[in-house]
Amino acid sequence: MSGRVHVVGAGMAGLAAAVRLAAAGRAVTLSEAAPQAGGRARSYFDQALGCRIDNGNHLLIAGNRSALSYIDAVGARGTLTGPGMPVYPFVDRATGERWVLRLNLGRVPWWMASSARRVPGTTLGDYIKALKLRRARPFDRVVDVLQSGTTVFRRLWQPLAVAALNTPLDQASAVLLAHVLAESIGAGGEACTPLVPREGLSETLVDPALAQLRRSGAAIRFGARLRAIEFGDDRAIALDFESGREPLADGDDVVLAVTAAVATRLVPDLVAPDQYCAILNAHYRFAAPADSPFFIGIIGGTAEWAFRKPGVVSVTVSAADRLLDAPEDELAATLWHDVAVAYELPSAPVPPVRLVRERRATFAATPEQAARRPGARTRWRNLALAGDWTDTGLPATVEGAIRSGFAAARLLGADRADAAEKALSAGNRRSKVAPPSHAFEPRPSR
């Protein structure tokens, strides 16, 4: 039997690595510097709002194979809900126009030929032109490949791309966007079916994983900050935590699932992304009508997307560096206007709100920064890297983070995890997500 695996970092990458390694029969110690797991994909009770909120907004789709494999492995499929079909409602603030993008389930995207299903004001040819992304060169920006002045760009590619890449599109990598679209729209409508947590991110992505790890005998430590890694010729030989030095036995391995900035401090000569983009989330304590859409794309607003959650409505502004120093009351009012338009609510008064500014939310998804992403393998045979900033082929998303954790586990000899995880998933998988009791449609305009 191999030795113990020390997984350092309990964000989505670390949790995914730990779950897969434990499923393969490895002894796991999961260490996290913060007092809780989940990183940027967790929930907590906000004392000021008096309710539970997610620290960010993350939308999964049925084509996120790694994320759903992880969710199945921890028995959390039943915590997801959604419209049950690939439909995406939008509102254009400039015109007041509302529509629902309706993809067909099959791989052949005949929805693009239907004026009733595609974005208003677009043609089939507009979508065919997007195939140029397949030929994007490593240093192409999104605006080098997609025409920014078109209706389809403003009403579809821009809100999707900014949300996925969290980078201004005149700087963002066209190759990364091509990979995102290949695994979503390019994989057929069924792959684009949205999935959202019934309760919160922690109830779907974090708590079930911690429970699964505890059942497997894993040791889980919070408040365990790693100060340094000691290296020998070809392996890591000790972990130096604030609580003390922990030698690594000959068969022990390490998954370093921390941020890029921390990893470059701990690992000699590591080249990794070193530029970041911000995300701004606003969470309003307001119970939107139960027949409202789970989310709405906002065209021409400050926010790109609004989300309805239990007792809360939230908006996300990606690539939000321009707003980081804006006054809080001004931001709260501006973003509430986006929510009010999206969900057809009164624009005043502004409900109680929690603004969450993440200055270094993700690495900047530019061609230059993408070229700095390392793989899971390092020159030390018992050390693997994980994190959404590693070279997953995707931008910094939940799917990419989980994929990186799986890659690190596989590199450290968890080949048996594929078979073990399939068996575990089969035992844990809940019945298919039940369709909601209402149609996924914008409510009629008043």
Encode pLDDT of 21-77 as tens digits.
999 999 999 999 999 999 999 999 999 899 999 999 999 999 999 999 999 999 999
Euclidean distance between CA atoms 347 and 120, whole angstroms: 26
Residue % of the chain over a pLDDT of 70: 93
Euclidean distance between CA atoms 313 and 438, whole angstroms: 18
Q: 295-299 and 305-309: which strand pairing?
A: antiparallel
Answering whether pTM is above 0.85, one says yes
pLDDT of residue 413: 83
Q: 5-8 and 253-256: which strand pairing?
A: parallel
Least confident of 225-229, 234-238, 379-383, 418-422: 418-422
Q: What is the pLDDT of residues 76-129, one digit of tens each?
A: 999 999 999 999 999 999 999 999 999 999 999 999 999 999 999 999 999 999
Euclidean distance between CA atoms 291 and 263, whole angstroms: 45
Euclidean distance between CA atoms 301 and 323, whole angstroms: 13
Report whether 166 contacts 396 (CB < 8 A).
yes
Radius of gyration of the chain (CA): 22
Is the pLDDT reported for residue 425 higher than 90?
no
Task: Phi first, then psi: give them for residue 154, nearest 5 degrees.
Answer: -65, -40
Q: Which residue has the higher pLDDT, 62 or 432?
A: 62
CA-based torsion, 339, 342, 347, 349: positive or negative: negative
Report whether 17 contacts 24 (CB < 8 A).
no
pLDDT of residue 428: 52
The secondary structure of 409-439, three-state, reads HHHCCCCHHHHHHHHHHHHHCCCCCCCCCCC
Is the pLDDT reported for residue 422 higher than 70?
no
Residues with Cβ within 8 Å of 423's Cβ and at least 6 positions away in sequence, in order, are none
Q: What is the pLDDT of residues 211-245, one digit of tens each?
A: 999 999 999 999 999 999 999 999 999 999 999 99
Residues with Cβ within 8 Å of 223's Cβ and at least 6 positions away in sequence, in order, are 32, 33, 34, 35
Query: Which residues does residue 254 pair with via DSSP β-bridges, in sequence order?
Result: 6, 383
Q: What is the pLDDT of residues 183-213, one digit of tens each?
A: 999 999 999 999 999 999 999 999 999 999 9
Is the pLDDT reported for residue 130 higher than 70?
yes
292, two tokens: 């409202």
**What is the pLDDT averaged over residues 295-305?**
97
Query: Which residues does residue 283 pair with via DSSP β-bridges, in sequence order?
Result: 314, 354
Residue whose C-alpha is closest to residue 408's, from 3, 2, 19: 19
Q: What is the pLDDT of residues 139-161, one digit of tens each?
A: 999 999 999 999 999 999 999 99
Helices (H) and strands (E) in the chain, counts: 14, 20
Residue type, 62: A
**What is the pLDDT averaged over residues 259-273?**
98
To the nearest whole number, what is the mean pLDDT of the chain? 93
Query: Which residues does residue 32 pair with via DSSP β-bridges, in sequence order?
Result: 222
Residues with Cβ within 8 Å of 376's Cβ and at least 6 positions away in sequence, in order, are 384, 385, 386, 390, 404, 407, 408, 411
DSSP letter (8 states) at residue 204 = I
pLDDT of residue 433: 41
Is the pLDDT reported for residue 364 higher than 50?
yes
